[in-house]
Amino acid sequence: MIELRPTAMRATWTTYGEDAADEFRAARNDCDDAGAHDLDDASATVRDAASDMLGVLDVVLAVLEEHRVGMEECITDFENSDGNRAGEFNALTR
């Protein structure tokens, strides 16, 4: 039999997964702010770096969301079974 505590898993995700997503969202806002500053000759480089970072943060947020969905599907499978099945994480799709 598989031992899985859905409430504990969800609470852990809320504490750490959601916190990580909030930090990455805040970083996205910081990139927007950094790209908007006028730094004369350095401004084009800063804007380019901020744009690159936005792309990286979008990927990280997508991976976090994919993991959250996969985890929730596993928990739901477990809750709907006799405790012998906890689902599986499928490959990332985004």
Summarize pLDDT for 30-83 with one digit per residue, the tens.
776 666 666 666 777 777 777 778 888 888 888 888 888 888 888 888 788 776
Asked if 54 contacts 28 with a C-beta cutoff of 8 angstroms, the reply is yes
Residue 88 pLDDT greater than 60, yes or no:
no
C-alpha separations of 74 from 39, 69, 94 in Å: 49, 9, 19
pLDDT computed for residue 57 by the predictor: 84
Kindly report the pTM of this predicted structure: 0.56
Q: What is the mean pLDDT of residues 9-25?
A: 83
pLDDT band at 94 (very low <50, low <70, confident <90, very high): very low
Domain residue ranges of the chain, discontinuous segments joined by +: 6-79
